[in-house]
Structure 1
Amino acid sequence: MSYFEERFQQIYEKFLFSLKIYSYDSSRREACYQDCLGEMDSLFLRHDTHDLFAKKLLDCKNAFQRKVKKAYLGI
C-alpha cells in the first residue's frame, strides 16, 4: 500500500507545483486539476478488484483527491 500512497503523494505534489506556476491562468489550472484527478483514477483502475486491498486503495485515492480539491479551491 505504501507504493500507492507514495504515488498519490507524488501526483499531489506535482499538482501543487503546477498551481504555483500557473497561478495567473485559470484555464491551465483547471487542466492541471483534471489531469491530476485522471492520473489518480487511472492508478486506481489498474488495480480495481473487489477485496480489502481495493477498499484501502479507494480510500487512499479519495483522501488524496479531497486534498487536491482543497488545494485547487484554495481552502
Structure 2
Amino acid sequence: RPNKKLLDYYLSLFKVTYITLNKLAYKLKLLLVFKIYLIFYMSLLELYYYRASVTLKLLSLDVIKG
C-alpha cells in the first residue's frame, strides 16, 4: 500500500471526543502511535457491536477441554 499508516482496515475502538454541529465529522481520541489526523468524516467510521454470543461459545469450549 502507498501509505503504511493505514494498513489495517479496522484498527481498534476509539472514543469520540467531539462531534461537529452538522454531525458529519467526528474527532477521535487516538493513541500517540497513530500519526494521522484526529478528525474523520462520518462515512469512514463504523459502530462497534459487542458479540457476547461468540465470547460465550469460546469460553464454553475452554471449559470442556480443560
Query: TM (normalized to structure 2)?
Result: 0.26
The structure carrying a bigger helix percent of its residues is 1
The structure carrying a bigger strand percent of its residues is 2
Q: Which has the higher contact order (CA 8 A, sep 6+)?
A: 1
- Structure showing greater radius of gyration is 2
Query: TM (normalized to structure 1)?
Result: 0.24
